[in-house]
Structure 1
């Protein structure tokens, strides 16, 4: 089974990531719980997002299972309540990729780096790597 640190390494190599977190989706609570973070002081494992999740982002990434590209600071600010903290880490661009297993959204990869770092090719590379997180996220989601 691929662990999430290995997923981070592969994403960093293929796409680049200053900030990398993985969220597990709990549909009964409409909540996402952070299960992995490469910046645990700022984004600790166990943190949950519910009301601050943007409805448009939630629909696109979780319900429609489509990736989200926020290529600049304005796009990050439009979706994330913690944009100030994100910017303080040198990040101004984001790719969110749903992690899907047999049609079920298990969670999402959150990949962030400097403004202008990502484009559609970056998104495509991230989408190809998302299945690596399925075993770890399935274990978390099914254990609830």
Structure 2
């Protein structure tokens, strides 16, 4: 099976949700663009709060409660502008992420943050981190293929956390 089929199968299952869907989305992202570290963050437009809801390295980047958003040009670009952010060296990462030393310590020096936009608002981001220079223009273009599966995964998570039935 390909990664899209694996994601569809994971989403259809009632077992271990939303984690099984997040793990399948991680596998899809690793195939599409590559990611040593893969995380999912939700954003609340009203409170401007963020929450990590999945991490492929939970020891370094645990799934935690909500935190206030660090308002920078990054938030203008990604959350308000709905544009993918790419940094291909640790210096560029350090400009916007205060945890740049931790990022470097796990062997990551490039990042791509793909905003997931639903109904005109960013509900979260898919975050892939890898070695310096990893996110080439071709990989950045390929990241667009993560938007629809990402939206489905975020909607599933919202449905589960609100207790609603799809």
TM-score when normalising by structure 1:
0.90
Deviation at 1:78, TM superposition (A): 0.7
Q: In structure 2, what is the equivalent of residue 43 of structure 1?
A: 61
Q: In structure 2, what is the equivalent of residue 88 of structure 1?
A: 105
The alignment partner of 2:135 has SS state of coil
TM-score when normalising by structure 2:
0.79
List aligned pairs for 1:103-118, cutoff 5 A.
Answer: 103-118=120-135
Number of residue pairs the alignment of both structures matches: 143
Tell whether 2:48 aligns with 1:30.
yes
Larger Rg over CA atoms: 2
Deviations 1:34-76 (A, max 9, x none): 011001111111244425x241111111111000010111111
Runs of 4+ in 1 over 4 A off after TM superposition: 141-144
In structure 2, the gaps of 5 or more residues are 1-7, 12-20
In structure 1, the gaps of 5 or more residues are none
Q: In structure 2, what is the equivalent of residue 63 of structure 1?
A: 80
Q: Residues 23 and 109 (structure 1 numbering): CA distance in 2 closer, same or farther, change over 3 Å?
A: same
Match for 1:120 among 106, 113, 137?
137
Distance in 1, Cα, partners of 2:154 & 2:64: 13
- Do the aligned residues in 1 keep the contact of 2:54 with 2:63 (CA within 8 Å)? yes
What CA RMSD, in Å, does the superposition of the two structures yield over aligned residues? 1.7
Deviation at 1:81, TM superposition (A): 0.5
Tell whether 2:39 aligns with 1:14.
no
Distance in 2, Cα, partners of 1:122 & 1:54: 27
Identify which of structures 1 and 2 has the higher relative contact order when contacts are C-alpha pairs closer than 8 Å and 6+ apart: 1
